[in-house]
Amino acid sequence: MSDTDGHAARASTIIALALTSLVAYASARALRSAARDFATQQSALLATMTALERRNAEASETRRRERERNAREKRAWDSRAQKRMSGEEADAETTDSEKLGRRRSATEADEVASGRTSGATTSPRAIGGDDVEEGGDDGRDVRAFDRDASLGTPTKRSLTHATSWDSNRDETETEIDDDAELRTQIDVVDSPLATKFHKRLDVSVEVDPDVQAFVGSPLPRALSKSEEHKGAMERANSAFLERASTMSTPESSVHGTASSSKNGQTPWPATPDASMAVSFKPADRSMGRELFQRVVDADVASGESPRRYTPPRVMGAGGSELQYEKVATEMMETLGHECEEVCLMLEYALGLRDKWLFDDSEAACPVVGIPNKSETLATKSDHAFKMIDGVVHVYRPGENGDLELVHAPPGTATNFFHDLHALLRVQSYGPSKTFCHKRLNLTEQKFNLHVMLNADREFLEQKQAPHRDFYNVRKVDTHIHHSACMNQKHLLRFIKSKLKREPHELVIYRDGKFLNLREVFESIGMTAYELNVDTLDMRADKNTFHRFDRFNLKYNPMGQSRLREIFIKQDNLIRGRFLAELTKQVCSDLEANKYTMAEYRISIYGRKATEWDNLAAWVLNNNVYSENIVWLIQIPRLYNVYHAGGTMKSFQQMLDNIFIPLFEVTVDPSSHPKLHTFLQMVVGVDMVDDESKPERRPSKHMRVPEAWDVQHNPAYAYYAYYVYANLYTLNALRVSKGLNAIAFRPHAGEAGDIDHLCATYMLCKNIAHGLNLRKSPCLQYLYYLSQIPIDMSPLSNNSLFVDYHKNPFPQYFARGLRVSLSTDDPLMIHMTKEPLVEEYSVAAQVWKLSAADLCEIAKTSVLNSGFPRASKKHWVSDQYWLGGTRGNDIQKTNVPDLRAHFRDDVLETEKALVRRGVVQARQKGREIKIRG
């Protein structure tokens, strides 16, 4: 047993030694393999760093050559400008040394503008024009539009200077010849301040404060960066720097030191930041791509598979991260001279809108639903008003007892027509058309790519929103005429019911006697049994195409004007009782639906001063109230008809009948108590008629309304100015008394000349139709930058002016214009008792609109409407006025945050491009002068 045990012990020892040797051998092999791998990685790292240094050297050389080329172009441009100025001015005695110094300063100025000259930097806030707070450098109110006079940009004067328009005309108006022929000449020259720029600029010191103020002068409101975009930029930059500070570089991984982008080092192992593509500047995005390329090169050199790119993320309203794919474009570091000219012209046009548009941000909200009839009326104020040259001016006693002007329009009719002709020249300038056409096409293609890449993500995001879909998001019919708010079947049933239940009701006075309802139908040879939709003959068909006169005749049931007067007029023998009952039935359908609202447009003709009182009494006496409707007043442009009929002597009489009662009730509510209550439910004024009628373009000096006693109708722009100017003064008075403002929201661009859209661009808060924007890329781009609401009615247009397949709505929508769908005239066009849903349904089928598209259009209709702020907060978002995701709550709108962010990002990109062109032009001392 002992020998056996000894042999076993020796065998165990031998086996243990063998296993130990084997383990040692394997460990040695592993160490040798690891050493080889480490050497390979070090070699790959060295090769990658060498390639990176070579690329950086090549990029530096490219930038140096670009700087030299820009300097040469600048010197050549300055030389041409100097020669032109020397030929025009008498004192062209400049020495060679002065010319050489000017060229050297110009070269240095170009380097400062490119951001590469040390010691002379311009803050982004100064360039963006965001550094003006409560007042400008001269202490004036930030809302007052003021600019360098040499730029030809209009000035919005304070009310205390309203009486000195004519004396200041030469300093503030655009230079336009008397010749009405449309010619465009645009001179780009050095301004006096540009000479100061060249003389004072020194690369060894900071930019002169006067020059910096010149570069950073206030921009139009449409070009100012939104708070949403600025906040997103700050958050994205902070997140990126915080993440970069925690990333190690190859140097830190070897020596144990850390560096980040904060101290000038570039993070090594990083893909582009999650929010970089959302809100970073173009330079930051290019840095992100460079980082991404480094990672790919390093992975390939080490033999590993390249890492996947992480798509950018958007923070949703609920704080959730949403990934999406984005196609981004970068602006060139320097724009061409022609682009700079166009940007200056666009800024000028945007400034015109700032000059004329009324700011209603401090106005009270309109009343929706049942008004408070028992409220105590305010006492009469000490305001006095007077009609001067067709426009009401409001006065108030001063300290010394004399009347002082307190409310007046922003300019005279001559000022307005000057600006109108200037805007016409801007939109007809060839380079402006080219620039705007390209930018609009780019925004359209961006939308198409966004939908192609992210449609599924948007749909999944919508699925996650509980309870909401297209049917239960709020939709507003922003353009519907009250007389045609019902469909034909509804009207037919109502007529039959009245014939059956109230045949002996006296309804009309004709040929010296009163007629009851049964006698009226007997006079036209019709009984209740014979009535049907076809006999009503109110359907718009192919015979109404380009025939506005025939379309208007469709308002007459069976072609009988007496039936229109009885059933769809509020000023008749029965005081509009039938129309009130019809309206309340339609409102009941809206309330049953809950999610559909309407803005009814009802007429004031201006034939009599009592029309306002009659309309207010009709609404209040018949209790035509609903939480689902608000009111607009439409003014037909029918002066020529009234003048031909002998009921009106001049255009001034029409203005008096429309506006004098409104000023009377605003100053003294007890003078028209019902009208005072009704006006609080009115959100806007419309202006309607056939725009295709030929008209004369208004000249700069038109006769005043009191002298307009001729038979032909004034031009559209003439109507627009006098309606808007009186509304401007009225709104200023109403806001000062804590009342609601009334917006100007006319029909425009359905047909006719482009002048109509130029006038409404300066004056209007909304427009209806806007079809002719497709004929003017420049105006369309201006409407896009200003985000002017456009209420479109494709089915109505299909019956009158534009075939449905040729309607520009889908193109406007893709490009980002603020468009919504509306019905216009359900009585002539639609067949169901939900005409707005019918409008959406046809559009969705013909243009293949997705659920996200339909909900976005519905959300836009709410924003375009005149419903109170509290309603919009409940229907859209608590911050509905903001852009991007902050102004969208998917729980209320069913609009994906991806879509909301995309729209805001593209708009901010276009604004940034125009801002950049303006800044570069100002840094070079360029200005525009527009004259015919």
Catalytic residues: 769
Q: Is 750 annotated as a binding residue?
A: yes
E strands, 574-709, are 596-603, 629-636, 682-688
Residues pairing with 135 in the sheet: 141
In this structure, what token pair is assigned to residue 661? 């009662």
Distance, in Å, from the CA atom of 782 to the CA atom of 463, rounded to the nearest integer, reads 36
In order of 169, 291, 660, 749, 855, the CA distances from 314 in angstroms are: 50, 21, 53, 37, 19
Q: Half-sphere exposure (CA, 13 Å, Cβ side) for 35?
A: 6
- Give how far the C-alpha of residue 303 lies from the chain's centroid of Cα atoms, to the nearest Å: 52
Neighbouring residues of 927: CB distance < 8 A, sequence distance ≥ 6 = 148, 150, 151, 152, 188, 189, 191, 194, 344, 921
Q: What are the φ/ψ torsions at residue 852 (nearest 5 degrees)?
A: -65, -40
Distance, in Å, from the CA atom of 724 to the CA atom of 702, rounded to the nearest integer, reads 17
DSSP-assigned states of every residue in 270-293: -PPPTTHHHH--HHHHHHHHHHHH
Residues pairing with 636 in the sheet: 688
In this structure, what token pair is assigned to residue 255? 């020596």
In order of 229, 791, 839, the CA distances from 785 in angstroms are: 15, 17, 27
Q: Are 682 and 633 in contact (CB under 8 A)?
A: yes
Q: Are 620 and 677 in contact (CB under 8 A)?
A: yes
Q: Are 336 and 903 in contact (CB under 8 A)?
A: no
In this structure, what token pair is assigned to residue 397? 């006693």
Q: Half-sphere exposure (CA, 13 Å, Cβ side) for 185?
A: 8
In order of 77, 159, 819, 870, the CA distances from 846 in angstroms are: 52, 51, 17, 35
Residue with the two structure tokens 């379309």? 551
Q: Is 479 annotated as a binding residue?
A: yes
Q: Is 299 annotated as a binding residue?
A: no
Closest Cα partner for 636 from 530, 533, 548? 548
Q: Is 133 annotated as a binding residue?
A: no
Q: Are 898 and 458 in contact (CB under 8 A)?
A: yes
Q: What are the φ/ψ torsions at residue 589 (nearest 5 degrees)?
A: -65, -40
Q: 400-424 b/e with 16+ CB inside 10 Å = b?
A: eeeeebbbbbbbbbbbbbbbbbbbb
Q: What does the chain come to in residues?
A: 932
The CA angle 580-581-585, to the nearest 5 degrees, is 115
Q: 187-219 b/e with 16+ CB inside 10 Å = b?
A: ebebbebbeebbeebebeeebbeebbbbbbbbb
Q: Are 451 and 496 in contact (CB under 8 A)?
A: no
Q: Are 239 and 275 in contact (CB under 8 A)?
A: yes
Q: Is 747 annotated as a binding residue?
A: yes
Binding site residue list: 479, 481, 747, 750, 824
Annotated binding residues for Zn(2+), written as ranges, equal 479, 481, 747, 824
Binding positions for substrate are 481, 750
